[in-house]
Structure 1
Amino acid sequence: MAKRNAAYIQHLLRDNKMLVVILSFVMAYFFAYNIGASGSAASMSVSYGSGVIKRKMIALLVCSLALFAGAIFGSGAVVKTLSKSIIPEKVITPEVVLIILISSAGTLFIANLLSIPLSTSEVTVGAIVGAGLAFQSLHAEKLLTIVFFWIAVPVSAMLVTYLLVKGGRFINIPKEVNPKWRRAGSILLILAGSLEAYAAGMNNVGNAIGPLVGAGLVPIKTGIFTGAIFMVLGVLSLGGRVIETSAKKIVKISVPNGIAISGVSGIMVTFASLYGLPIPITQVTTSAIAGVSAAKNGKEIWKQPIVFLIVRIWVVSPVLSMVTAYFLIQLCLRHNFYTTVVVLSVILATLFTASLAKTGSKQLKSDMKKREAL
């Protein structure tokens, strides 16, 4: 009887293990699909918005091909970083993988529903760090390197596009542009957008399948191939809305500026990917746009909300997924009730403090207006 009960318990454990593995794959490919749907299609927005590519489906197909090529031929280094370089491989069990993917994919999905722009790479790294903190096992040197480049690459993109636009002002461009030059500019813009999509494929597929590879649930080449397919499906099925929205927002960007923005972003993220650095490509592109705006509008750019938005995303993206992963591991795997209560208390205290500060600020402004009226 005892042997039968022991065998039954082992059977249940095997079934639960298999369920965890299946859910991990579902979350990984759901994440890849969302990555493709949410941000990758935006790489062709300038080409589509400027009319260089007139049909939206053509723009999405070009983006998909470049994205897929980048994932297949250049994502290996980033996948290795996200699979074993931030936390030790011994920590990455199927259960931990599932929590990392729930924290990163879930955070990104909710943010997309609320129209809050979070960085895919930062969300993933944050979730992995949360797991490392929960088990008190973290490769701090590699993490600090990644964080440094999170800041350095977008700032460099802003500086380069600023200098390119400033330098371009000294070149005399005739009012009537030769059709051959116009055609060349259109081709360069499409190539620059394709490079940006290629870089997105290199850098982003690892966010979805890196944890699976780290736990030994899938071979790296198989993981990259299948993850790339789901990213492409995301682009083709839901990318149309993203490209339409982005095109309307950046329609005022000229073809030369579009080449500078997409070209600089694509080149920088490509080089970062070759060194295995998961870089937030959306922030790099946004910073490149800010550099163009700074060259045109001078100091006024620093008064624009976009600058503060970039800073907030830098901070919020990794912290949110890190806290989520840490909380879930403490609650579900370590059964540490006391730590869970402390984490929840800190979150609630932070939210209430922010709410009180906002209310107090409004009340202060209201009191000042009343005094001025008197």
Structure 2
Amino acid sequence: MVALAFCAALLFAMNIGASGAAASMGVAYASGAIKKKWVALLICGAAIIAGSVFGGQKVTKTISSGIIPEDIFTVKIVIITLLAATIALFTANILGIPLSTSEITIGAVAGVGIAYQVLYVEKLLFIVAFWIITPVVAFSITYVAGKLIHRLNSKYPDLEKGKWKPVFTILVIVTGFFEAYSAGMKNVANAVAPLVGAHLLSVETGLLLGGIFVALGAFLLGSRVLETNGKKITSVSLIEGISVSATSSFLVITAALFGIPLPIAQITSSSIIGMGSAQQGKKVFQKRVVSQMLKVWFVAPFLSLLVSYTCIKLLLESDLYSIFIVGAGIIATLGVISLLKHTKQEVGGISR
């Protein structure tokens, strides 16, 4: 069972790398500062390991003992938690959607807490409040920055060319590195915190091992998500890329120093959307990839919560009554969604 727990953690770590790659280096790739994907992903991996080893301790503590009591993390609970989070993250990676691993990990841990009625609700609500606020803050900052950059470019159209281009190129790579560093501070904890909570690893060993596997996942599996964040939302210039990466890394690093796991994928994507909105107005929200991202962000934490809760009730407690309620809830939800779609189609047909 212990070997299975480690396999689940390392598999999750690699999926974290695949998702976090776009969140950290997508801007540097999109702006043209880094032209080859493998170079962007290699830099991402190195920064993630550094951030994990030197700054991941407080977030690890929050996830391992700040949401549910530490003694709840048995080997079986570790496996269920990590597999629930992996399922949600793997689904997002297949779709090419950059997803916050903190949200799905904490969702899975919350499912455990609800199953055993030991959830620290106030602490969870405190973290969720930051999940809601910080993407809005990131969007607002880059929207304003985008407007200012547009005016600057109108006044100095050749600003990013000539002698200044190498300077801006270096700056966007540096800010991208620190964004990946912030991902290491926060994201690696999602994979290793359950193992630390179960006393299967020390914090230091867990962060080093987890950092290596997250970096491997970024390098080997991050290409598609990198493309989504880098190319499909909006195009960004070098100065815009610096603004996006600096905003994301500042918010995430500041929160991680206090042990708050912010959703870096959402913050970076919101920053890019804010920049795109400054360029294109409401048109950026009409893109299919943006609406798809927003839906996945909302659904994923509940999916991992549901999977972990269901697995505990079914596999560990054999509580068929709870499983029946869960199944009924899923069927009812799907039925309502289908009914709303049918009603919308009928209204559309009448209006035509």
* TM-score scaled by length of structure 1: 0.87
C-alpha spacing 1:358/1:327, structure 2 compared with 1 (3 Å): same
- Conservation of the 8 A alpha-carbon contact between 1:119 and 1:313: no
Q: Deviations over 1:153-208 (max 9, x none)?
A: 11111111122222334543253656331111011010111111111111100111
- Conservation of the 8 A alpha-carbon contact between 1:37 and 1:238: yes
Aligned to 1:372: none
Inter-partner Cα distance in structure 1 for 2:94 and 2:135: 26
Q: Which amino acid aligns with 2:245?
A: S
1:36 aligns with 2:36: no
Q: Deviations over 1:138-164 (max 9, x none)?
A: 111111110010011111111111222
Inter-partner Cα distance in structure 2 for 1:311 and 1:150: 13
1:211 is displaced (CA, Å) by 0.8
Inter-partner Cα distance in structure 2 for 1:45 and 1:357: 36
User: 1:67-86 residue pairs with structure 2 within 5 A?
Assistant: 67-86=48-67
1:301 is displaced (CA, Å) by 5.0
- Conservation of the 8 A alpha-carbon contact between 2:5 and 2:75: yes
Percent of aligned positions that are identical = 45
Aligned to 2:171: 188
Q: Deviations over 1:288-318 (max 9, x none)?
A: 1122123233455565656654543443121
Instruction: For residue 54 of structure 1, give the secondary structure of its aligned residue in structure 2.
Output: coil
Aligned residues: CA RMSD: 2.1
Greater Rg over alpha carbons, structure: 1
Instruction: For residue 39 of structure 1, give the secondary structure of its aligned residue in structure 2.
Output: helix
Return the match for 1:321 from 301, 304, 311. 304
C-alpha spacing 1:89/1:351, structure 2 compared with 1 (3 Å): same
User: 1:16-31 residue pairs with structure 2 within 5 A?
Assistant: 19=1, 21-31=2-12
Instruction: For residue 236 of structure 2, give the secondary structure of its aligned residue in structure 1.
Output: coil
Q: Which runs of 5+ in 1 are unaligned?
A: 1-18, 370-374
* Further displaced range: 116-125 or 94-103: 116-125
Instruction: For residue 112 of structure 1, give the secondary structure of its aligned residue in structure 2.
Output: helix
Aligned to 1:335: 318
Q: Which amino acid aligns with 1:156?
A: V
- Conservation of the 8 A alpha-carbon contact between 1:41 and 1:197: no
Q: Which amino acid aligns with 2:77?
A: V
* Further displaced range: 230-239 or 183-192: 230-239
- Conservation of the 8 A alpha-carbon contact between 2:22 and 2:230: no
Q: Which amino acid aligns with 1:196?
A: E
- Conservation of the 8 A alpha-carbon contact between 1:100 and 1:128: yes
Inter-partner Cα distance in structure 1 for 2:55 and 2:222: 22
Instruction: For residue 335 of structure 1, give the secondary structure of its aligned residue in structure 2.
Output: coil
* Further displaced range: 301-310 or 72-81: 301-310
C-alpha spacing 1:145/1:256, structure 2 compared with 1 (3 Å): same
C-alpha spacing 1:245/1:346, structure 2 compared with 1 (3 Å): closer
1:220 is displaced (CA, Å) by 0.8
Q: Which runs of 5+ in 2 are unaligned?
A: none
Return the match for 2:34 from 39, 42, 53. 53
User: 1:1-374 residue pairs with structure 2 within 5 A?
Assistant: 19=1, 21-115=2-96, 117-171=98-152, 172-175=155-158, 179-249=162-232, 252-301=235-284, 308-309=291-292, 311-369=294-352
Q: Deviations over 1:98-136 (max 9, x none)?
A: 111111112211333344554311111111001000000
C-alpha spacing 1:72/1:347, structure 2 compared with 1 (3 Å): same
C-alpha spacing 1:307/1:211, structure 2 compared with 1 (3 Å): same
* Further displaced range: 138-147 or 293-302: 293-302
Q: Which amino acid aligns with 1:119?
A: S
C-alpha spacing 1:311/1:360, structure 2 compared with 1 (3 Å): same
C-alpha spacing 1:176/1:199, structure 2 compared with 1 (3 Å): closer
- Conservation of the 8 A alpha-carbon contact between 1:34 and 1:234: yes
1:320 is displaced (CA, Å) by 1.0
* Further displaced range: 324-333 or 112-121: 112-121
Regions of 4+ moved over 6 Å? none
Count of matched residue positions in the alignment of Structure 1 and Structure 2: 350
* Further displaced range: 106-115 or 194-203: 106-115
- Conservation of the 8 A alpha-carbon contact between 1:49 and 1:250: no
C-alpha spacing 1:22/1:203, structure 2 compared with 1 (3 Å): same
